[in-house]
Copies of this chain bind each other. A is one copy, B any other.
Protein backbone atom coordinates (compact mmCIF):
# COMPACT_ATOMS: atom_id res chain seq x y z
CA UNK A 1 0.00 0.00 0.00
CA UNK A 2 1.38 3.27 -1.12
CA UNK A 3 1.62 6.29 1.15
CA UNK A 4 2.02 8.61 -1.78
CA UNK A 5 -0.44 11.40 -2.54
CA UNK A 6 -3.55 10.54 -4.55
CA UNK A 7 -3.45 10.57 -8.34
CA UNK A 8 -5.93 12.90 -10.06
CA UNK A 9 -7.46 12.03 -13.44
CA UNK A 10 -9.88 14.13 -15.48
CA UNK A 11 -11.83 12.62 -18.35
CA UNK A 12 -12.20 14.53 -21.61
CA UNK A 13 -14.22 17.69 -21.15
CA UNK A 14 -13.56 17.93 -17.42
CA UNK A 15 -9.89 18.87 -17.56
CA UNK A 16 -10.43 22.57 -17.01
CA UNK A 17 -12.32 21.97 -13.81
CA UNK A 18 -9.91 19.35 -12.53
CA UNK A 19 -6.74 21.22 -13.29
CA UNK A 20 -7.81 24.04 -11.01
CA UNK A 21 -8.42 21.59 -8.22
CA UNK A 22 -5.03 20.02 -8.82
CA UNK A 23 -3.40 23.43 -8.55
CA UNK A 24 -5.13 24.13 -5.27
CA UNK A 25 -3.91 20.77 -3.97
CA UNK A 26 -0.40 21.41 -5.23
CA UNK A 27 -0.23 18.64 -7.79
CA UNK A 28 -0.72 17.87 -11.47
CA UNK A 29 -3.28 15.81 -13.32
CA UNK A 30 -2.17 12.27 -14.08
CA UNK A 31 -2.04 11.17 -17.69
CA UNK A 32 -4.44 8.75 -19.33
CA UNK A 33 -5.47 7.66 -22.81
CA UNK A 34 -8.98 8.00 -24.28
CA UNK A 35 -9.37 6.27 -27.59
CA UNK A 36 -12.44 6.46 -29.78
CA UNK A 37 -13.32 3.68 -32.19
CA UNK A 38 -15.05 3.91 -35.51
CA UNK A 39 -18.19 2.23 -34.14
CA UNK A 40 -18.65 4.83 -31.40
CA UNK A 41 -17.17 2.71 -28.66
CA UNK A 42 -14.14 3.83 -26.71
CA UNK A 43 -11.36 2.70 -24.42
CA UNK A 44 -9.80 4.68 -21.54
CA UNK A 45 -6.80 3.58 -19.54
CA UNK A 46 -4.44 5.28 -17.09
CA UNK A 47 -0.90 5.82 -18.38
CA UNK A 48 0.58 6.12 -14.91
CA UNK A 49 0.73 3.07 -12.66
CA UNK A 50 -2.15 3.11 -10.18
CA UNK A 51 -1.19 -0.06 -8.33
CA UNK A 52 -1.73 0.55 -4.61
CA UNK A 53 -2.62 4.21 -5.13
CA UNK A 54 -5.54 6.35 -4.07
CA UNK A 55 -7.15 7.90 -7.12
CA UNK A 56 -9.58 10.75 -7.74
CA UNK A 57 -11.45 10.90 -11.06
CA UNK A 58 -13.22 14.05 -12.24
CA UNK A 59 -16.08 14.07 -14.70
CA UNK A 60 -19.01 16.43 -15.04
CA UNK A 61 -21.90 14.43 -16.45
CA UNK A 62 -23.77 16.88 -18.67
CA UNK A 63 -24.42 16.11 -22.30
CA UNK A 64 -22.84 18.31 -24.91
CA UNK A 65 -22.61 18.28 -28.68
CA UNK A 66 -20.01 15.52 -28.76
CA UNK A 67 -21.02 13.23 -25.94
CA UNK A 68 -24.36 12.58 -24.31
CA UNK A 69 -24.67 12.33 -20.54
CA UNK A 70 -24.84 8.55 -21.04
CA UNK A 71 -21.60 8.61 -23.01
CA UNK A 72 -19.85 10.49 -20.21
CA UNK A 73 -21.36 8.22 -17.58
CA UNK A 74 -20.15 5.06 -19.35
CA UNK A 75 -16.66 6.49 -19.81
CA UNK A 76 -16.50 7.35 -16.16
CA UNK A 77 -17.77 3.93 -15.06
CA UNK A 78 -15.46 1.93 -17.33
CA UNK A 79 -12.47 4.05 -16.38
CA UNK A 80 -13.09 3.61 -12.67
CA UNK A 81 -13.48 -0.14 -13.09
CA UNK A 82 -10.21 -0.21 -15.04
CA UNK A 83 -8.47 1.68 -12.23
CA UNK A 84 -9.66 -0.91 -9.73
CA UNK A 85 -8.55 -3.76 -12.01
CA UNK A 86 -5.15 -2.15 -12.26
CA UNK A 87 -4.82 -2.23 -8.48
CA UNK A 88 -5.95 1.22 -7.36
CA UNK A 89 -6.60 1.05 -3.63
CA UNK A 90 -9.33 3.68 -3.38
CA UNK A 91 -11.23 5.35 -6.22
CA UNK A 92 -13.01 8.57 -5.52
CA UNK A 93 -15.22 10.23 -8.12
CA UNK A 94 -15.99 13.93 -8.33
CA UNK A 95 -18.98 14.86 -10.51
CA UNK A 96 -19.42 18.63 -10.54
CA UNK A 97 -22.69 17.90 -12.35
CA UNK A 98 -24.32 14.54 -11.61
CA UNK A 99 -26.78 13.53 -14.31
CA UNK A 100 -30.28 12.12 -13.81
CA UNK A 101 -30.73 14.04 -10.56
CA UNK A 102 -34.32 14.87 -11.51
CA UNK A 103 -35.28 11.22 -12.12
CA UNK A 104 -35.27 10.78 -8.39
CA UNK A 105 -38.70 9.39 -7.49
CA UNK A 106 -41.74 7.63 -8.84
CA UNK A 107 -44.35 10.16 -9.92
CA UNK A 108 -46.22 7.85 -12.26
CA UNK A 109 -46.90 4.14 -11.91
CA UNK A 110 -43.88 1.94 -12.65
CA UNK A 111 -41.60 4.96 -12.96
CA UNK A 112 -37.85 4.41 -12.80
CA UNK A 113 -35.78 5.85 -9.92
CA UNK A 114 -32.69 6.45 -11.97
CA UNK A 115 -30.70 8.14 -9.20
CA UNK A 116 -30.61 4.79 -7.45
CA UNK A 117 -29.78 2.79 -10.57
CA UNK A 118 -26.91 5.18 -11.16
CA UNK A 119 -25.71 4.49 -7.64
CA UNK A 120 -25.90 0.74 -8.14
CA UNK A 121 -23.93 0.95 -11.38
CA UNK A 122 -21.31 3.24 -9.88
CA UNK A 123 -20.87 0.81 -7.00
CA UNK A 124 -20.75 -2.16 -9.41
CA UNK A 125 -17.77 -0.50 -11.09
CA UNK A 126 -15.83 -0.36 -7.84
CA UNK A 127 -16.09 3.34 -7.00
CA UNK A 128 -15.35 3.85 -3.30
CA UNK A 129 -16.66 7.34 -2.76
CA UNK A 130 -18.57 9.98 -4.71
CA UNK A 131 -18.55 13.74 -4.37
CA UNK A 132 -21.23 15.66 -6.23
CA UNK A 133 -21.96 19.37 -6.36
CA UNK A 134 -25.40 20.60 -5.29
CA UNK A 135 -27.56 17.60 -6.12
CA UNK A 136 -31.17 18.17 -7.08
CA UNK A 137 -32.75 16.22 -4.24
CA UNK A 138 -30.42 15.63 -1.28
CA UNK A 139 -32.81 13.13 0.34
CA UNK A 140 -32.92 11.02 -2.83
CA UNK A 141 -29.15 11.27 -3.20
CA UNK A 142 -28.41 10.47 0.46
CA UNK A 143 -30.48 7.31 0.19
CA UNK A 144 -29.48 6.15 -3.27
CA UNK A 145 -25.83 5.44 -2.60
CA UNK A 146 -24.48 2.78 -0.28
CA UNK A 147 -20.92 4.00 -0.65
CA UNK A 148 -20.11 7.31 1.03
CA UNK A 149 -21.62 9.92 -1.29
CA UNK A 150 -21.30 13.55 -0.42
CA UNK A 151 -23.24 16.52 -1.62
CA UNK A 152 -21.22 19.72 -1.68
CA UNK A 153 -23.62 22.60 -1.31
CA UNK A 154 -22.72 25.89 -2.91
CA UNK A 155 -24.82 28.06 -0.57
CA UNK A 156 -21.78 29.74 0.99
CA UNK A 157 -20.30 30.55 -2.37
CA UNK A 158 -23.42 32.37 -3.51
CA UNK A 159 -23.94 34.06 -0.16
CA UNK A 160 -20.43 35.51 -0.31
CA UNK A 161 -20.99 36.66 -3.87
CA UNK A 162 -24.26 38.45 -3.17
CA UNK A 163 -23.17 39.89 0.18
CA UNK A 164 -20.64 41.94 -1.76
CA UNK A 165 -23.29 43.22 -4.17
CA UNK A 166 -26.42 44.14 -2.26
CA UNK A 167 -25.11 47.13 -0.30
CA UNK A 168 -27.74 48.31 2.17
CA UNK A 169 -30.69 46.97 0.19
CA UNK A 170 -33.39 45.02 1.92
CA UNK A 171 -32.93 41.52 0.55
CA UNK A 172 -35.26 38.58 0.17
CA UNK A 173 -34.32 35.00 -0.74
CA UNK A 174 -36.89 33.51 -3.07
CA UNK A 175 -37.49 29.83 -3.77
CA UNK A 176 -39.02 29.33 -7.22
CA UNK A 177 -41.01 26.29 -6.02
CA UNK A 178 -41.84 24.42 -2.83
CA UNK A 179 -39.30 21.67 -3.60
CA UNK A 180 -36.50 24.22 -3.29
CA UNK A 181 -37.73 25.82 -0.08
CA UNK A 182 -35.10 24.20 2.13
CA UNK A 183 -32.33 25.20 -0.24
CA UNK A 184 -33.48 28.84 -0.42
CA UNK A 185 -33.81 28.92 3.37
CA UNK A 186 -30.21 27.71 3.74
CA UNK A 187 -29.11 30.45 1.37
CA UNK A 188 -31.12 33.00 3.35
CA UNK A 189 -29.41 31.96 6.57
CA UNK A 190 -25.97 32.03 4.97
CA UNK A 191 -26.63 35.48 3.57
CA UNK A 192 -27.85 36.75 6.96
CA UNK A 193 -24.60 35.51 8.45
CA UNK A 194 -22.55 37.29 5.78
CA UNK A 195 -24.52 40.52 6.02
CA UNK A 196 -25.01 40.51 9.76
CA UNK A 197 -28.62 41.56 9.32
CA UNK A 198 -32.03 40.17 8.55
CA UNK A 199 -32.86 38.69 5.12
CA UNK A 200 -36.44 37.93 4.14
CA UNK A 201 -37.82 34.79 2.58
CA UNK A 202 -40.39 34.20 -0.10
CA UNK A 203 -41.70 31.13 -1.86
CA UNK A 204 -43.35 30.59 -5.23
CA UNK A 205 -45.81 27.81 -5.82
CA UNK A 206 -47.71 26.89 -8.93
CA UNK A 207 -51.41 27.47 -8.65
CA UNK A 208 -53.76 25.07 -10.37
CA UNK A 209 -57.47 24.89 -10.96
CA UNK A 210 -58.81 21.44 -11.84
CA UNK A 211 -55.38 20.36 -13.13
CA UNK A 212 -54.76 23.46 -15.28
CA UNK A 213 -51.94 25.70 -14.21
CA UNK A 214 -53.59 29.04 -13.64
CA UNK A 215 -50.95 31.16 -12.05
CA UNK A 216 -48.27 31.42 -9.45
CA UNK A 217 -48.67 31.77 -5.73
CA UNK A 218 -46.11 34.05 -4.10
CA UNK A 219 -45.78 33.91 -0.34
CA UNK A 220 -43.62 36.44 1.51
CA UNK A 221 -42.80 40.12 1.04
CA UNK A 222 -40.70 41.24 -1.90
CA UNK A 223 -42.11 44.76 -2.31
CA UNK A 224 -39.31 47.31 -2.39
CA UNK A 225 -36.65 44.67 -1.93
CA UNK A 226 -33.76 43.15 -3.82
CA UNK A 227 -34.98 39.64 -4.62
CA UNK A 228 -32.53 36.78 -5.18
CA UNK A 229 -34.15 33.73 -6.69
CA UNK A 230 -32.19 30.68 -5.61
CA UNK A 231 -32.34 27.26 -7.27
CA UNK A 232 -30.11 24.24 -7.91
CA UNK A 233 -30.18 24.31 -11.68
CA UNK A 234 -31.34 26.22 -14.70
CA UNK A 235 -32.61 23.99 -17.48
CA UNK A 236 -34.75 25.86 -20.03
CA UNK A 237 -34.98 28.77 -17.59
CA UNK A 238 -38.80 28.87 -17.59
CA UNK A 239 -39.13 28.31 -13.85
CA UNK A 240 -36.72 31.14 -13.18
CA UNK A 241 -38.49 33.44 -15.61
CA UNK A 242 -41.89 32.88 -14.03
CA UNK A 243 -40.46 33.48 -10.59
CA UNK A 244 -38.71 36.63 -11.79
CA UNK A 245 -41.87 38.02 -13.35
CA UNK A 246 -43.88 37.29 -10.21
CA UNK A 247 -41.32 39.11 -8.07
CA UNK A 248 -41.27 42.02 -10.46
CA UNK A 249 -45.06 42.24 -10.37
CA UNK A 250 -44.98 42.07 -6.59
CA UNK A 251 -42.79 45.13 -6.48
CA UNK A 252 -39.23 43.88 -6.17
CA UNK A 253 -36.84 46.71 -7.02
CA UNK A 254 -33.90 44.59 -8.16
CA UNK A 255 -33.73 40.97 -9.28
CA UNK A 256 -30.90 38.46 -9.18
CA UNK A 257 -30.91 34.76 -9.79
CA UNK A 258 -28.53 32.06 -8.63
CA UNK A 259 -28.23 28.39 -9.48
CA UNK A 260 -25.32 26.01 -9.18
CA UNK A 261 -25.78 24.33 -12.53
CA UNK A 262 -26.39 26.41 -15.64
CA UNK A 263 -27.56 24.00 -18.35
CA UNK A 264 -29.47 26.60 -20.42
CA UNK A 265 -31.00 23.88 -22.57
CA UNK A 266 -33.13 26.45 -24.38
CA UNK A 267 -30.06 28.47 -25.25
CA UNK A 268 -30.24 32.24 -24.81
CA UNK A 269 -34.04 32.42 -24.71
CA UNK A 270 -33.97 33.43 -21.06
CA UNK A 271 -31.97 36.52 -22.00
CA UNK A 272 -34.23 37.79 -24.77
CA UNK A 273 -35.78 40.22 -22.36
CA UNK A 274 -33.38 40.36 -19.45
CA UNK A 275 -35.14 40.23 -16.09
CA UNK A 276 -32.15 39.86 -13.83
CA UNK A 277 -29.35 42.24 -13.01
CA UNK A 278 -27.32 39.09 -13.47
CA UNK A 279 -27.49 35.36 -12.91
CA UNK A 280 -24.82 33.71 -10.82
CA UNK A 281 -23.96 30.11 -11.63
CA UNK A 282 -21.05 27.87 -10.71
CA UNK A 283 -18.45 26.41 -13.05
CA UNK A 284 -19.92 22.88 -12.87
CA UNK A 285 -21.26 23.12 -16.44
CA UNK A 286 -19.62 25.45 -18.96
CA UNK A 287 -22.20 27.74 -20.65
CA UNK A 288 -21.75 25.93 -23.93
CA UNK A 289 -25.20 26.64 -25.29
CA UNK A 290 -24.95 30.42 -24.77
CA UNK A 291 -23.39 33.00 -27.09
CA UNK A 292 -20.33 34.72 -25.65
CA UNK A 293 -22.08 38.06 -25.14
CA UNK A 294 -24.76 36.41 -23.02
CA UNK A 295 -22.08 35.03 -20.78
CA UNK A 296 -20.22 38.28 -20.40
CA UNK A 297 -23.31 40.45 -19.97
CA UNK A 298 -25.64 38.32 -17.94
CA UNK A 299 -23.68 35.66 -16.08
CA UNK A 300 -21.33 35.60 -13.14
CA UNK A 301 -19.58 32.25 -12.97
CA UNK A 302 -18.38 31.39 -9.47
CA UNK A 303 -15.44 29.10 -8.89
CA UNK A 304 -16.54 26.01 -6.93
CA UNK A 305 -13.16 24.31 -6.92
CA UNK A 306 -12.19 25.72 -3.51
CA UNK A 307 -15.06 23.78 -1.95
CA UNK A 308 -14.15 20.50 -3.61
CA UNK A 309 -10.43 20.89 -3.03
CA UNK A 310 -11.05 21.56 0.67
CA UNK A 311 -13.14 18.40 0.97
CA UNK A 312 -10.54 16.28 -0.82
CA UNK A 313 -7.81 17.63 1.44
CA UNK A 314 -9.84 17.22 4.63
CA UNK A 315 -8.51 13.80 5.60
CA UNK A 316 -4.90 14.81 5.09
CA UNK A 317 -4.34 12.72 1.95
CA UNK A 318 -2.59 15.61 0.22
CA UNK A 319 -0.32 16.48 3.12
CA UNK A 320 2.01 13.59 2.37
CA UNK A 321 5.52 14.22 1.16
A residues with a Cβ closer than 8 A to B are 1-4, 37-41, 43-47, 49-54, 62-63, 67-71, 73-75, 77-79, 81-87, 90, 99-100, 102-106, 108-117, 119-121, 123-125, 129, 137-144, 146, 148, 150-151, 175, 178-179, 181-182, 185, 188-189, 192, 197-198, 201-203, 205, 207-211, 217-220, 235-236, 263, 265-266, 314-317
Contact = CB atoms under 8 A, between A and B. Distances in A.
Given A148-B84, A218-B219, A112 B43 contact: yes
Given A85-B113, A178-B203, A181-B178, A40 B52 contact: no
A52 B317 contact: yes
Contacts of A179: 178, 181-182
Contacts of A317: 1, 52
A44 B112 contact: yes
27 contacts: A38-B235, A38-B265, A40-B68, A41-B63, A45-B110, A51-B315, A52-B317, A70-B70, A70-B73, A73-B74, A78-B114, A82-B111, A82-B112, A85-B106, A85-B148, A104-B142, A113-B143, A116-B143, A116-B146, A139-B140, A140-B142, A143-B143, A181-B205, A189-B211, A202-B217, A203-B203, A203-B217
Contacts of A142: 104-106, 113, 116, 140
A143 B140 contact: yes
Copies in the assembly, this chain: 6
Contacts of A192: 210-211
B108 A45 contact: yes
Given A120-B124, A124-B124, A203-B217, 4 more contacts: A77-B121, A105-B143, A113-B142, A207-B220
Contacts of A73: 70, 74
Contact of A50 (B38, B106, B110, B120): B110
A75 B100 CA distance: 12
Given A129-B87, A205-B201, A316 B41 contact: no
A150 to B, nearest CB: 8
Contacts of A235: 38-39
**Which 7 pairs, one residue from A and one from B, show the smallest C-beta to C-beta distance?**
A219-B219, A52-B315, A178-B181, A40-B63, A82-B112, A124-B124, A105-B139
A198 B210 contact: yes
A208 to B, nearest CB: 7
Contacts of A86: 109-110, 148
Nearest to A79: B112
A120 B127 CA distance: 13
Most chain B C-beta atoms within 10 Å of own C-beta, residue among A70, A75, A129, A235: A70
Contacts of A115: 143
Contacts of A3: 3
Contact of A41 (B54, B69, B205, B209): B69
Nearest to A211: B189
Nearest to A88: B148
A54 B87 CA distance: 14
Given A116-B143, A143-B104, A63 B39 contact: yes
